[in-house]
Amino acid sequence: MRIHNLNIVFKISERCNLKCDYCYFFFGGDESWKLHPALVPRQVIEGLGAFSARAARDQQLDAIQLIFHGGEPLLMSKPRFAEMCETLRGYENGFRFNFGLQTNGVLVDDEWIDLFERYQVSAGVSLDGPRAINDLHRLDQKNQSSYDRTTSGLRRMQKAAAHGRIPTPGLLSVINPFADGAEVYRHFAHDLGITRMSFLTPDYTWDSVVGKSVIRGVERFLLAALRAWLADKNPKIRVRVFSELLAAMIDPHAMELVQTYRDDYRNIISVSSNGDLGPEDTLRTLDPRFASMGLNVAKNDLKDLIESDAWREQADAATIRPDGCNDCEWWKICKAGRPINRYSKARGFSNHSLYCSGLKDMYAEIGAFLVRNGTPLSEIALRIAS
């Protein structure tokens, strides 16, 4: 199989200055981070550079998306970060790295902005909502609020973006089931001026011990946030989880992108700070077979991962329709949702999404909005027909 779009989540720091209690990486049950270097060593950076060059050559890739991740990636010192970027750029032969970075924003200062600008790093910030909602889970190591420091870092990035120095920062928000999605959306879009954001369903599986009220709360949040976004009718505000779907219902090319990339984890691999290779990062909490695959950038190629059983499971998850989705009219744009939300120990990924009911409401709401605004229902039906 050929990979057309390779995203590498690179764990350059396996420690954090916050302790968000829902964090899959530190509190999801996989404690391998304790055995890994706190900061990625130079030899692993070089190993990843060489691995990426081989992958680009073998898969005929013009570009690789390399996302600096953690833990908190900005715990790396600035000189070391600059050296890492220089080293990686040195491996760009016949392909280029598109650098991305996901941060909690707390440490972002003007010097970091300079580095993002110099090395063309597209950075995103994690925040869960207004202070009261954000602070329910995103506290620092001393149990203090992270809200002011995160929004201060975000503002610096927005200012630099407004001057064309760096790309507009995106914002990633984990849904709080007890929060009002409309309030959270409006805080981001209206109070903070965010124009690129997405909402992430919590990483629950069918084995998670959570009540129906939590699942329903997540679904309610999504619908309320969607309605608030639709009411704004502002094409400059992009909420990825909604925008992609809306585009897919009216545009064949957008539908093709959703079909190819949305929740298909074959597009994403992770590299730990010790160089270990694995599939998409959240999967490591599901089972040791995803966390310890025995593959490393120092000795393996991408094809070793692609030929693994764990990868075949990802291929099945992306292509085989679970029984629960058999009669669903939304299959083509849903594909059973995020893989982690359809997983159970007994059946692997062969389940419909834990949030199925809310996903259906979301698709129907977007379809109804399009019809209200002039798109013929028959056109949408044709587009989503499997």
Nearer to ligand SF4, 184 or 336 (CB): 336
How many residues can be counted in the chain?
Answer: 386
Where in 69-128 is the site for ligand SF4 (CB under 6 A)?
A: none
When asked if residue 216 is in the footprint of ligand SF4 (CB under 6 A), the reply is no
Nearer to ligand SF4, 37 or 348 (CB): 348
CB-CB contact of 321 with 269 (8 Å): no
CB of 331 to ligand SF4, least distance (A): 4
CB of 181 to ligand SF4, least distance (A): 18
- Contact with ligand SF4 (CB under 6 A) among 44, 359, 370, 384: 359
CB-CB contact of 281 with 19 (8 Å): no
Burial class (CB in 10 A: 0-12, 13-18, 19+), 136: middle
CB of 221 to ligand SF4, least distance (A): 17
Pull the structure tokens for residue 9.
């989540």
Burial class (CB in 10 A: 0-12, 13-18, 19+), 287: middle
* Distance from C-alpha of 147 to C-alpha of 110, rounded to nearest angstrom: 19
CB-CB contact of 88 with 119 (8 Å): no
- Binding residues for ligand SF4, how many (CB under 6 A)? 13
Burial 312-345 (b: 16+ CB within 10 A, else e): ebbeebbeeebeebeebebbebbbbbbbbbbbee
CB of 210 to ligand SF4, least distance (A): 17
CB of 356 to ligand SF4, least distance (A): 3
When asked if residue 360 is in the footprint of ligand SF4 (CB under 6 A), the reply is yes
Nearer to ligand SF4, 104 or 353 (CB): 353
Nearer to ligand SF4, 241 or 334 (CB): 334
**Applying CB under 6 A, which part among 86-94, 161-169, 321-329, 376-384 lies near ligand SF4?**
321-329
CB of 379 to ligand SF4, least distance (A): 20
Pairing of the two strands 7-11 and 63-69: parallel
**Applying CB under 6 A, which part among 12-20, 47-55, 256-264, 322-330 lies near ligand SF4?**
322-330
Nearer to ligand SF4, 263 or 281 (CB): 263
> Letter for the amino acid at 91?
Y
CB of 248 to ligand SF4, least distance (A): 14
- Contact with ligand SF4 (CB under 6 A) among 149, 186, 284, 352: 352
Nearer to ligand SF4, 95 or 363 (CB): 363
CB-CB contact of 304 with 311 (8 Å): no
Report phi then psi at 227, rounded to 5.
-60, -40
Nearer to ligand SF4, 68 or 204 (CB): 204
CB of 321 to ligand SF4, least distance (A): 8
Extended beta strands in 77-181, E state: 96-103, 121-126, 170-174
CA distances to 104, 134, 196 from 188, rounded to whole Å, are 15, 12, 9
Where in 323-342 is the site for ligand SF4 (CB under 6 A)?
A: 324-325, 328, 330-331, 334, 336-337
Using left for φ > 0, alpha for ψ between -120 and 50, and beta otherwise, residue 120 falls in left
When asked if residue 230 is in the footprint of ligand SF4 (CB under 6 A), the reply is no
CB-CB contact of 226 with 181 (8 Å): yes
Per CB under 6 A, residues contacting ligand SF4 are 324-325, 328, 330-331, 334, 336-337, 352-353, 356, 359-360
